[in-house]
Amino acid sequence: MLLEPPLVHAPEFEQGPWIQTPSPVRIEDLHGRVTLVNFWDYTCINCVRTLPYLRAWFDLYRESGFEIVGIHTPEFPFARDLRQLRAAVGRLGIRWPVLLDNDQRMWTSYANRYWPTMYLIDPRGYIRYQRAGEGAYDQTERAIRSLLEETTPRPALPPSIGNLRAEDSAGAVCAPVSPELQIDSVAGAKDLGPPPVQLEEGRIYPKGEWLASRGGLSLVGPGPGDIELPFRAAEVYAVLSSGPDEKALPPDPVRALIQLDGRPLPSENFGADVFGENGLAWLRVDGPRLYHVAAHLTPVRHSLSLHVDTPGWTLYSFSFATCLVPNSPFPADREEARRC
């Protein structure tokens, strides 16, 4: 059965802070409509990858009685700042109300465990469907349509959007990919000296003077610093900031030199936040957020290096994705690989 029976009533939303709504949203305000409650974090690549579907469903079904409410439960300290959340929501094209869940009350009320997780609430306020992680977009859309049809018999619903990306189609699988790495994966602490000759996948190797604080690893200088990262993936993302104090950022963006396997990152592998100059690849860091570092890689073992000259430049995490294609020869646990 696609939908659960109407047994569990959705918890009431907290009073705030809310953005993109003139007043706090309440469950009773949504009665009569089908509502998707989305737990997310703008630094989570899995969450960001779901947004094209949410935006499409919001546009397609809103006139049929569909709403979305975002619950932003931050993973990193800077994401607790309302100003940063407003910037992220604008950058990502989110048009529905978003609650900043700094104290994780909503996360706890829903007994939530993953970023992202979607809950479908029926017009009477009952939870009827839950999906954790990426994927199963066609299934989630069928659940949306089923609830809309349950609410209004024989509604004139528009055609389904289906899968927006080829890698989300039936038969697609994941190649093996490195796990998300945070500063507990750093191989040491301060003034580390040169990394070992044999680098271990699943570890972050800093060189220079770095200081771990507030969930991040900051370059303290006075000299330059390097990050060496052995990994296995088709795409690389990093949560970075141009300074350790996210409320007093440097006036100009900070850039980092990128190399892949000992050479400048090729232009065909540039992530969305990388630019080329004088034959070199540079990552532009303009504030605390998720950055797209590398793309279209063969999902085998690689080594990525970042060279930074600016004290205060801060690394929070690396995350990875593998292009999902039908008939891939690489086995993987698809469900777990899709989750943050």
Residues 6+ apart with CB under 8 A from 272: 292, 295
CA-CA-CA-CA torsion sign (204, 210, 215, 216): negative
Q: Measuring CA to CA, how many Å separate 57 from each of 97, 183, 242?
A: 15, 36, 35
Of residues 323, 310, 316, 320, the one with CA closest to residue 340:
320
Confidence category of residue 246, pLDDT binned at 50, 70, 90: low
Q: Where in the chain is the domain with CATH 2.60.120.260?
A: 181-323
Q: Tell me the mean pLDDT in the region 156-166.
A: 90
Percent share of the chain, pLDDT over 90: 72
Confidence category of residue 173, pLDDT binned at 50, 70, 90: low
The one-letter code for the residue type at 134 is E
Per-residue confidence (pLDDT) for residue 202, from 0 to 100: 85
Of residues 244, 253, 245, the one with CA closest to residue 282:
253
Q: Where in the chain is the domain with CATH 3.40.30.10?
A: 18-165
Of residues 174, 113, 200, the one with CA closest to residue 330:
174
Whether pLDDT at 331 is above 50: no
Among 3.90.1150.10, 3.30.70.580, 3.40.50.300, 3.40.30.10, what is the CATH number of 18-165?
3.40.30.10
Residue with tokens 């994941």: 174
pLDDT digits (tens, 9 = 90+) for 200-211: 898 999 999 999
Percent share of the chain, pLDDT over 70: 87
Residues 6+ apart with CB under 8 A from 330: 173, 174, 175, 176, 299, 322
Whether pLDDT at 191 is above 60: no
Whether pLDDT at 183 is above 60: yes
> pTM of the prediction?
0.89
Strands, E, within 189-279: which ranges?
205-207, 210-213, 216-219, 225-232, 235-241, 254-260, 263-264, 274-277
Task: Specify whether domain 181-323 bears CATH 2.60.120.260.
Answer: yes
pLDDT digits (tens, 9 = 90+) for 88-136: 999 999 999 999 999 999 999 999 999 999 999 999 999 999 999 998 9
Whether pLDDT at 33 is above 70: yes
DSSP 208: S
- Gap between the Cα atoms of 31 and 125, Å rounded: 6
